[in-house]
Amino acid sequence: MAGLIQATGGNYSARRPGMVCPHDLVWFDEAALAADAPAWALAVVAAGEPGVVRRAARHGISLPVGIRGADKRQRHGDQVAAKRVSSHLAPEAIDLDVLARPPRSERGGDVPALAALADIRHRLKGLSIVWGPTGAVGYELATGRAVAHRESDLDLVVRLPECCNDVLAALCEMAAAARQTYAIRCDIQLETPAGGVALADWAGEAGQMMVKSDTGPYLTANPWAVAA
Where are the chain's structural domains? 2-89, 91-220
Q: Give the model confidence (pLDDT) of 27-69 as tens digits.
A: 999 999 999 999 999 999 999 999 999 999 887 788 999 999 9
Q: 0.85 exceeded by the pTM?
A: yes
Q: Give the model confidence (pLDDT) of 202-216 as tens digits.
A: 999 888 999 999 999
Q: State the Cα–Cα distance between residues 154 and 166, nearest whole angstrom.
A: 22
Q: Among residues 36, 153, 166, 201, which one is catalytic? A: 153
187 catalytically annotated: no
155 catalytically annotated: yes
Q: Give the model confidence (pLDDT) of 117-156 as tens digits.
A: 999 998 898 899 999 999 999 999 999 999 999 999 999 9
Q: Among residues 36, 71, 110, 155, which one is catalytic? A: 155
